[in-house]
Structure 1
Amino acid sequence: MNTVADKKPRLTTSAMIASIAAEGQRVQAAPFGKALVDYAADRPEIVGLTADLAKYTDLHLFQKAYPERFFQMGMAEQLLMAAAGGMAKEGLVPFATTYAVFATRRAYDFIHQVIAEENLNVKICCALPGLTTGYGPSHQATEDLAMMRAIPGMTIVDPCDALDLEQAVPQIAAHQGPVYMRLARGNVPLVLDEYDYRFELGRAKEIRDGNDVLIISSGFMTMRALEVAKALEADKVSVAVLHCPTIKPFDEATVVAQVKKKNRLVVVAENHSVVGGLGEIVATTLMRHRVQPAGFQLAGLPDAFLDAGALPTLHDRYGISCEVLGRRIKEWLK
């Protein structure tokens, strides 16, 4: 059931479980956990593992529904990935959850050698991607996409909202091979249902058209791009939004077609470092296909260790809030 984000004052201090939902925004509770429970109902090969973070990745719903298929590995992420690989070798389909920083930084070698090298059917679903916590660099996975992109054969998904997440779960489960999916948990914003959107693994989707600016985005930055597009209508700026939920394999054909479609400023908006993320993927794609847009700008996180603090403050500071992103786009259009 959809609910509305609690109408409370914005946080003035950081919080591990802070929501990215704006005040009054429609949200859906635990879409990942609910989708996994539904999908696993008649598929006994689906198992769930976590590193002491079931509640904070919404895997506690799976634990409650299928306790015999749930494995609590403790705060041992390397063991988590090794065990998931072993289960996959026996024909199971493990969903392994933790925080993105712990999977990518702490367990990278195990993912690379145990899971990916043998193309094992493990689904790694990680909360707190990018700048979705105010707890500082120890918990801000601002380089996770760059790291996981470098692993051969790794499919990477960066969903926008609750609808994206719930539709992605069965598709990544059915995909043969390792998957890394960025995870939003708790009360997750719901926006894409207003645009007749459906998630398709490996496909980018035009969410709205526009004549002046094309925002190419992934993750919750697609939500921000849609907010910016609506806000800029008042200034007679027409903004298109192209959502790229699959980072790898990348839908180059759709991106090239959209850039060629009209002579527009291209802005890549991402909740990730400007090093190694969506912006560099798009830039490389356009260079490879010899496509030159009217202009090209990156709206991502800086190549730096980010501050701790309240999420609204940090998003303003690093240029990925709706208000600041809108101002940046108007400056780039001058």
Structure 2
Amino acid sequence: MSAAVPKPRLKTSAMIASIAGEGQITRSAPFGHALVELARNRPEVVGMTADLGKYTDLHLFAKEYPQRYYQMGMAEQLLMGAAAGMAHEGAQPFVTTYAVFAARRAYDFIHQAIAEDNLDVKIVCALPGLTTGYGPSHQAAEDLALFRAMPNLTVIDPCDAIEIEQMVPAIADHRGPVYARLLRGNVPVVLDEYDYQFELGKAKLLRDGAEVLIISSGIMTMRALETAKALAADRVDVGVLHVPTIKPLDTATLLREARRSGRLVVVAENHTVIGGLGEAVAAVLLTNGVTPPFRQIGLPDAFLDAGALPTLHDRYGISTEAMCDTIKGWLR
């Protein structure tokens, strides 16, 4: 009896860092530009990073306000401790690093030094979820689950360049610690078609639909809108509810939309299906006695592969084409 031949491992080549599609409109470094503008009239705003100014768009702030910029070296725990100290002295630190380093390396320092004292520190982190092809060391697939569990911490997952620009002054006006995912570099422009205005703690219905409601955050709202347009050609009517604030959730809007009968509710997230938006929404619905047909699109409970982002997004079911196929399969 011959041994089973193992399946060849799929390979990809280029490590593509941008999530923008071909020909898609983008804006360069929306976070960096927004923070520079914010700081013009707010001398308490300081920028802090752990050797990643260029890769979190904070270099723009450093160029404009070099005396208010602190480069802490490759020491994320020190970065968070120093940010706590600055906040105690009246500064408002905007702290950047990669999401994996904040969530997995500096978690205890954020928990004990920042969140427990409810300090006014804004932690803004690049490479959230599956937005890099460099494998598990850089893919923050579980950051929302970790930070949702931290008391006092507001958690935000913005969709595009427009929302990032609007988010910066909004979180500056909010007193208390914030964790925000960051799309850096050339960031897609998506929400310009929807007369959108970011409001902390508020979900927004971007598109109505009678058959399917996709509840999404971050880049998955872009994918959800693309999916809704694609499925319209197949006469499938899809609505999209964008939920940029993961904590606190806009419970009232979620319940209002989920109570509408006859719709499949799908939560789509750029995060593991464990502990993220999907499970948060499910808990809200169940504890309030709302039980529509419910499905999740998200990353698996696994260490993800390295490779080119389009290949990985297809492989893990978060590309537009994969979402269309999945949802059509659920409707059969």
Asked if Structure 1 and Structure 2 have the same fold, meaning a TM-score greater than 0.5 normalized by the shorter chain, the answer is yes
Cross-structure match for 1:277 = 276
- SS of the residue corresponding to residue 261 of structure 1 reads coil
Amino acid of the structure 2 residue aligned with 1:192: L
1:255 aligns with 2:254: yes
Amino acid of the structure 2 residue aligned with 1:177: G
- Give the ranges of 4+ consecutive aligned residues of structure 1 lying more than 6 Å apart after TM superposition: none
TM-score (norm 1): 0.95
Partners of 2:58 and 2:177 in 1: CA distance: 19
Partners of 2:43 and 2:196 in 1: CA distance: 30
Cross-structure match for 2:328 = 330
State the 1:263 CA deviation: 2.0
1:307 aligns with 2:280: no
Partners of 1:22 and 1:92 in 2: CA distance: 39
Count of equivalent residues: 322
Residues 30-55 of structure 1: CA distance to partner in whole angstroms, max 9, x if unpaired? 00000000011011000000000001
Amino acid of the structure 2 residue aligned with 1:38: E
Q: Give 1 or 2 for the bigger CA radius of gyration.
A: 2
Cross-structure match for 2:46 = 47
Aligned ranges 1:1-334 → 2 under 5 Å: 13-15=13-15, 18-293=17-292, 295-334=293-332
Cross-structure match for 2:8 = none
State the 1:13 CA deviation: 2.6
Cross-structure match for 2:5 = none
TM-score (norm 2): 0.96
- Residue identity over aligned pairs, in percent, reads 70
- SS of the residue corresponding to residue 28 of structure 1 reads strand
Asked if the contact 1:155/1:248 (under 8 Å) is kept, the reply is: yes
Stretches of structure 1 that go unaligned for 5 or more consecutive residues are: 1-11
- SS of the residue corresponding to residue 214 of structure 2 reads strand
Cross-structure match for 2:4 = none
Cross-structure match for 2:3 = none
Cross-structure match for 1:6 = none
Partners of 2:239 and 2:169 in 1: CA distance: 29
Asked if the contact 1:14/1:308 (under 8 Å) is kept, the reply is: no
Residues 200-256 of structure 1: CA distance to partner in whole angstroms, max 9, x if unpaired? 000000000001000000000000000000000110000000000000011111000
State the 1:14 CA deviation: 4.3
Aligned-CA RMSD value: 1.0
